[in-house]
Chain A
């Protein structure tokens, strides 16, 4: 274990003070050799190195009080390297030509075939490489600053840099040229099966070992190389080859059972899958459900639509919900936000996306400034957007963006459901069916119309109470639908 921690020298001890360093950064230390003096409320004693190695980093400084169990130094054995959990952006963003070529080769494609920008020609390899980027980004490294001062992160996690032999701090690198790549046997097997280039993966295990958690994002995002023909439908030249491939790639099955047939993933399926995986893995979702009395909304809609001649202007329940949510967001602007990088961004505009099921996936065009549009305008815009979404006629600016999403499965007779947040948005509203239910009012059982809505929210951005209040507001609008016409 290369990290030296503040030892617990008695049951009551919670922290100790580092009095004095006995070894300097870069010094060679032997097992059992004192490296620092610490003071507890009872005694002063020396901390010894647990193994031979080099004192690579003094994490605590002299006079600093360190909680029990927190790191105070890093000692690396011969050949061991420690690196930050993530490699530098530079290293990640510019895979060597060699590794890119190797990855392409594994995909069974000529390098030239990766060039087309449309379709799936770039396939899983490029997907995998592209996905390496987000993994590398969240921890910007002080690569440009050769600060000799050791860095201890504020959250108690140690940010570690390797030092050059001459003692000069060097930029963190995942591996020195020619250094053996360390990966667990499991990771090596999975990498081979899924065509993951481990050169671009940074290991979080001891000595930089790549362990399963480090490659999990690549497993969920990209289809296994061996089973992905990665040939676009609109590339007739390579189609026959693609058709011939799957037979080779079918995984072994139990004796006597028919083998599974790999299904090509459409681009939209792939994108949906990747974005949803990322969201569910990264965003701390929480969920709040509210039951809404829709009797007034049902009556209101009937009344309005009875007087509207123009089919395009007839109002759907979804239009009412979009408008109610938009008005609610105007009153709870902190939910009309996105989480980008490491900060919350509030949006002055309320652009409500409507999730639309299309062939092979999902797309969510948005109604811009929905809080300021009349119900009639929302109805006309929504119909137009949904229609063109299904025909593939949307322009990118119509679905790239938006500040809040409504996903409605009400027409499919569902009680309620939970939606996955569409990043970087902070919340998504999942709408169930309007049901006729027996309800008790003033001690009598009557027939009520009820609908469940569930908000999935990003806990980094908001909290339960705020979401509950927002839902109360939305409920207020839907139960008093005249307000939707007023505002």
Chain B
């Protein structure tokens, strides 16, 4: 690992895409049981270039191009995992996982339970989640609420290059099926990524920015939106916002959220997915259960518009949480006129 750091002690900067690939490649070097499956991940290098070059490096037995049959190759991967391998399945986008939902929900999530712990399914299913790049209604789903609903699945949603590497390593080594929701719109974003082996544990949220007046909670690409907004609020309105990046949807870090709300007394939860039966709803419910006496205002949720995601750029922008909407919610919980 001499390349990159040059021995000067600096942490290398790389993109979310590179960090994700590095995690998988490093672990494939370390553990022969790790294999990749998916559509166009080998010869083509992956639709999003996440697996580019890995076929040449590891050969066709470990980087497996599959037919366009999500139910089939996900089922195959579950079988491989049951037999002791550690497969990583790429969903070209998470939207296609609906075709594999029966395998994921009925088999992957339940086999350990059904077998009384005799069989485990150390499987990672990964791919870009959410929208924001004009892929229209069928290709713009945020599925964290959907998969987070089922016991037996772990669901994570890293937002930074640092976390995507550390959490991918945790995911591969976890004995349970992990739904690894990548922020597709952030593949090109860059950040510091330490070399070598490090893991980011599941179930620990990250305080992305400290503040005292209001707690802003999100995950995935909305975290970056909140950080930008928090800077603006500090500069323009003298509001000190704390930003929490959930990172892990299930297991879920209740402690960090509750501690923050105890400090700020106000919370705004932001998500791209629809409001009903969603992560933000869970967070809001949790806060009222565990921090009721600390609240000075109702918890606000800012979510995607309750419509199939529009294709037209202007409508797509209007359908996702905007800085304006979130700023208005912040002002409401602070009782400042909107």
Minimum Cβ distance to chain A for residue B207 (Å): 21
8 Å CB contact of A186 from B295, B335, B338: B295
* Stretch touching chain B among A204-212, A242-250, A266-274: A204-212
Find out whether the CB atom of B296 lies under 8 angstroms from the CB atom of A184.
yes
B-side contacts of A213, CB under 8 Å: 335
Q: B293 near A: Cβ within 8 Å? A: yes
Find out whether the CB atom of B296 lies under 8 angstroms from the CB atom of A211.
yes
* Residue of B292, B295, B335 most packed against chain A (CB within 10 A): B335
8 Å CB contact of B265 from A1, A188, A204, A212: A212
Q: Which of B282-310 contact A (CB under 8 A)?
A: 292-297
8 Å CB contact of B293 from A185, A204, A205, A212: A185
CA A185 to CA B265, docked complex, whole Å = 10
| Nearest B-chain residue to A188, judged by Cβ | B293
Q: A187 near B: Cβ within 8 Å? A: yes
Size of the A side of the interface (Cβ < 8 Å), in residues, is: 12
Find out whether the CB atom of A189 lies under 8 angstroms from the CB atom of B293.
yes
Say whether, besides A1-B338, A186-B265, A212 and B294 are in contact (CB < 8 Å): no
Find out whether the CB atom of A205 lies under 8 angstroms from the CB atom of B294.
no
B-side contacts of A212, CB under 8 Å: 265, 296
* Residue of B292, B295, B296 most packed against chain A (CB within 10 A): B296
CA A186 to CA B291, docked complex, whole Å = 9
Find out whether the CB atom of A205 lies under 8 angstroms from the CB atom of B292.
no
Find out whether the CB atom of A211 lies under 8 angstroms from the CB atom of B294.
no
CA A184 to CA B297, docked complex, whole Å = 6
Q: Which of A177-200 contact B (CB under 8 A)?
A: 184-189
Find out whether the CB atom of A184 lies under 8 angstroms from the CB atom of B295.
yes
A-side contacts of B335, CB under 8 Å: 204-205, 211, 213
Convert A1-19 into 0s and 1s, putting 1 for each residue whose CB lies closer than 8 angstroms to a CB of B: 1000000000000000000
CA A211 to CA B293, docked complex, whole Å = 12
Q: How many A-B residue pairs have CB under 8 A?
A: 27
B-side contacts of A211, CB under 8 Å: 296-297, 335
CA A273 to CA B338, docked complex, whole Å = 35
A-side contacts of B338, CB under 8 Å: 1
B-side contacts of A186, CB under 8 Å: 265, 293-296
B-side contacts of A185, CB under 8 Å: 292-296
| Nearest A-chain residue to B288, judged by Cβ | A185
| Nearest B-chain residue to A205, judged by Cβ | B335
CA A367 to CA B253, docked complex, whole Å = 63
CA A204 to CA B265, docked complex, whole Å = 16
Find out whether the CB atom of A189 lies under 8 angstroms from the CB atom of B296.
no
Convert A155-195 into 0s and 1s, putting 1 for each residue whose CB lies closer than 8 angstroms to a CB of B: 00000000000000000000000000000111111000000
CA A204 to CA B296, docked complex, whole Å = 12
CA A213 to CA B296, docked complex, whole Å = 9
CA A186 to CA B266, docked complex, whole Å = 10
CA A205 to CA B266, docked complex, whole Å = 14
| Nearest B-chain residue to A192, judged by Cβ | B293
B-side contacts of A187, CB under 8 Å: 296
Minimum Cβ distance to chain B for residue A217 (Å): 16
Minimum Cβ distance to chain B for residue A159 (Å): 14
A-side contacts of B294, CB under 8 Å: 185-186, 189
A-side contacts of B292, CB under 8 Å: 185
CA A186 to CA B297, docked complex, whole Å = 9
Minimum Cβ distance to chain B for residue A184 (Å): 5
CA A186 to CA B295, docked complex, whole Å = 5
B-side contacts of A204, CB under 8 Å: 335
Minimum Cβ distance to chain B for residue A224 (Å): 16
Minimum Cβ distance to chain B for residue A160 (Å): 13
CA A204 to CA B337, docked complex, whole Å = 11
CA A212 to CA B295, docked complex, whole Å = 9
Minimum Cβ distance to chain B for residue A324 (Å): 38
CA A1 to CA B338, docked complex, whole Å = 9
CA A212 to CA B296, docked complex, whole Å = 6
Q: Which of A200-243 contact B (CB under 8 A)?
A: 204-205, 211-213
Convert B103-132 into 0s and 1s, putting 1 for each residue whose CB lies closer than 8 angstroms to a CB of A: 000000000000000000000000000000
Convert A115-126 into 0s and 1s, putting 1 for each residue whose CB lies closer than 8 angstroms to a CB of B: 000000000000
Q: Which of A409-441 contact B (CB under 8 A)?
A: none
A-side contacts of B293, CB under 8 Å: 185-186, 188-189
Minimum Cβ distance to chain B for residue A239 (Å): 35
Minimum Cβ distance to chain B for residue A422 (Å): 27
| Nearest B-chain residue to A204, judged by Cβ | B335
B-side contacts of A189, CB under 8 Å: 293-294
* Residue of B292, B294, B297, B338 most packed against chain A (CB within 10 A): B297
| Nearest B-chain residue to A5, judged by Cβ | B338
CA A186 to CA B267, docked complex, whole Å = 13
CA A185 to CA B293, docked complex, whole Å = 5
A-side contacts of B265, CB under 8 Å: 186, 212
Minimum Cβ distance to chain A for residue B6 (Å): 45
Minimum Cβ distance to chain A for residue B178 (Å): 36
CA A185 to CA B297, docked complex, whole Å = 8
CA A379 to CA B265, docked complex, whole Å = 54
CA A184 to CA B334, docked complex, whole Å = 12
| Nearest B-chain residue to A212, judged by Cβ | B296
CA A211 to CA B266, docked complex, whole Å = 11
* Residue of A184, A187, A212 most packed against chain B (CB within 10 A): A184
8 Å CB contact of B297 from A1, A188, A205: A205
* Residue of A186, A205, A213 most packed against chain B (CB within 10 A): A186
| Nearest A-chain residue to B265, judged by Cβ | A186
CA A1 to CA B328, docked complex, whole Å = 12
Minimum Cβ distance to chain A for residue B332 (Å): 8
Q: Which 8 pairs, one residue from A and one from B, show the smallest C-beta to C-beta distance?
A: A189-B293, A186-B296, A184-B296, A212-B296, A185-B293, A185-B295, A185-B292, A186-B265
| Extra A-B contacts (6), CB below 8 Å, given A204-B335, A205-B297, A211-B297 | A184-B296, A184-B297, A185-B294, A186-B293, A212-B265, A213-B335
10 pairs from A and B in contact (CB 8 Å cutoff): A1-B338, A186-B265, A186-B293, A186-B295, A188-B293, A189-B293, A205-B335, A211-B296, A212-B296, A213-B335
Report B's interface with A, CB cutoff 8 A. Answer: 265, 292-297, 335, 338
